[in-house]
Amino acid sequence: MIAGLVLAAGAGTRMGMPKALVADDSGPWLPRAVSALAEGGCDTVTVVLGAAVEAAAALVPGVTVVVAEDWADGMGSSLRAGLLALDASAEAVVVTLVDLPDVGAPVIARLLAQDVDATTLARAAYDGKPGHPVVIGRHHVAGVIAAATGDKGARDYLAVHDHRLVECGDLATGHDVDAR
């Protein structure tokens, strides 16, 4: 089983609203991220929320929601909360961010087309530059949880562990949108 995890807890202060509530001409970002994971091949999808929990959860009815109580401490808190809530039977988890609106199902499918198992550690790359989503095999989850602090998420863990870069620049820009 491959799990999908959307990190969407942030207040979005630079955006003027919680990131989970942002929409553009193509619609709300949160349901789009959930759909990308599901349509890209994840068997389950969990969303991590913090700011505006009720309003954001209403955008994704039927999806498992985890509340990161300490979400204001940064992405590391959200990542830890999400990883701790995952079903232990998941072979791997695909972690994406809500503020990557052009990262769709084709990117997820390409990441999962690689040999994914409990030892996998991989991330999307855009024109050779590492980005999100990140695939974390079950054997790496405890290490990522331990390393996820502040606003770093899995960055420190990935910096010291070999991981595969999967080029996706032909499918998306992978740009993290930080302002409306």
The domain ranges of the chain are: 2-167
- Tokens representing 111 are 């990441």
The pLDDT of residue 136 is 98
Residues across the chain? 180
Which residue intervals of 58-178 are DSSP H helices? Answer: 75-85, 105-112, 138-147, 155-160
pLDDT tens profile 142-172:
999 999 987 888 989 999 999 999 999 999 9
pLDDT tens profile 102-112:
999 999 999 99
The pLDDT of residue 100 is 95
The structural architecture, per CATH, of the domain 2-167 is Alpha-Beta Complex (3.90)
Which residues on adjacent β-strands are paired with residue 137? 92
Least confident segment among 49-58, 67-76, 92-101, 156-165: 67-76
Q: In which band, very low, low, confident or very high, does the pLDDT at 10 lie, cut at 50, 70 and 90?
A: confident
Q: In which band, very low, low, confident or very high, does the pLDDT at 174 lie, cut at 50, 70 and 90?
A: very high
CB 31 within 8 A of CB 105: no
**From CA 74, how far away is CA 11, in angstroms rounded?**
10
What's the rounded mean pLDDT across residues 166-180? Answer: 85
**Percent above pLDDT 70 for the chain:** 98
Least confident segment among 10-19, 46-55, 65-74, 113-122: 10-19
The pLDDT of residue 178 is 67
- The answer, yes or no, to whether residue 180 has pLDDT greater than 60, is no
- Other beta carbons less than 10 A from residue 12's beta carbon: 22
The pLDDT of residue 96 is 97
Tell me the average pLDDT of the chain: 93
pLDDT tens profile 11-39:
777 777 888 999 899 999 999 999 999 99
pTM: 0.95
